Amino acid sequence: MRNHTADARVFKAFCDENRLQVLAMLRSGEKCACVLLEQLQISQSTLSHHMKILCDSGIVTARKDGKWTYYSISQEGSRRAEEMLRELTDFSDAKR
């Protein structure tokens, strides 16, 4: 049986324009929170909220270095999200 709570966290990560913009920026590699803040023109607390959702989903990982946090896309989390979407929309599996 699927863990729909974990699945919902992944889909929640994709359901916001700012989070999609963050993911687009991270496609080119790891970024410091300060760079994301500059590009998005949102408050630090709003960025923190979005990054928590992305990290909780497993799609993004965080790395602390001094006072800054650096974010990158998790290859494993990305693969898991892709597999989840494929499984949830696979009609051939529904008859089993």
pTM of the entire predicted model: 0.87
The pLDDT, as a whole number, for residue 4 is 84
β-strand partners of 60: 73
4-90: CATH topology: Arc Repressor Mutant, subunit A (1.10.10)
Count of alpha carbons within 13 Å of 15, Cβ hemisphere only?
A: 8
pLDDT of residue 88: 85
Question: pLDDT band at residue 31, thresholds of 50, 70 and 90?
Answer: very high
pLDDT for position 58: 96
pLDDT digits (tens, 9 = 90+) for 38-79: 999 899 999 999 999 999 999 999 999 999 999 999 999 999
More confident residue, 91 or 84: 84
Contacts of 51 (CB under 8 A, 6+ apart): 22, 33, 36, 60, 62, 69, 71
